[in-house]
Amino acid sequence: MKSHLNACMFLLCLATAAHAQVAGSTWQLTVEDLNHLVKAKATIRFTNEVATESCMGGNWKRVIVDVKDGDDKFFPLSEPLAYQLDKGLLTVGRVGVCDGYLFLNGKFAEEKINGGFNSVSIGYSQALGKFSLDRIGKKVK
């Protein structure tokens, strides 16, 4: 029993540490369509605030969009965004529109993150493009 408790505490610490790596950091976001045309750019900040508007399970935190430019119909920078960091995978997106999720997914890295942009609903996923995140400024310690 004690080993299970220790394992659970270890996993909780890992999850907390992962969010601590991201929370408070600022990034330059670029989202491209499948033809590699830039459709949205923004400067975003990851917070440690719980995303209360999420109808998706998980540990979602708020994303603040400081500066934005692009097609809101392609990627909704004007809508509430949230992020989750789970087992090294960063997911950013719109989680407040149930069964109409738009997600950026990529492997977390300290300075640059690349990945895919997808529309997801129950039993359905469609690739819409790619994204990149470039950290602005120093790492948060």
What digits encode the pLDDT tens for the residues 24-35?
Answer: 999 999 999 999
Q: How confident is the model at residue 19 (pLDDT cuts 50, 70, 90)?
A: very low
Q: How confident is the model at residue 13 (pLDDT cuts 50, 70, 90)?
A: very low
d(CA 136, CA 46): 12
User: Does residue 141 lie in a domain region?
Assistant: no
User: Does residue 73 lie in a domain region?
Assistant: yes
Computed on alpha carbons and rounded to an integer, the radius of gyration of the chain in Å comes to 15
Residue 47's closest CA among 70, 20, 7? 20
Cα 130 to the center of its chain, rounded Å:
13
User: Does residue 49 lie in a domain region?
Assistant: yes
Asked whether the whole model's pTM tops 0.75, one would answer yes
Boundaries of domain holding 122: 2-136
Question: What is the CATH classification number for the domain harbouring 35?
Answer: 2.40.128.120
User: Does residue 107 lie in a domain region?
Assistant: yes
pLDDT in tens, 39-95: 999 999 999 999 877 777 788 999 999 999 999 999 999 999 999 999 999 999 988
- Looking at the structure of the chain, the number of domains it has is 1
Q: How confident is the model at residue 139 (pLDDT cuts 50, 70, 90)?
A: low
pLDDT of residue 11: 37
User: Does residue 88 lie in a domain region?
Assistant: yes
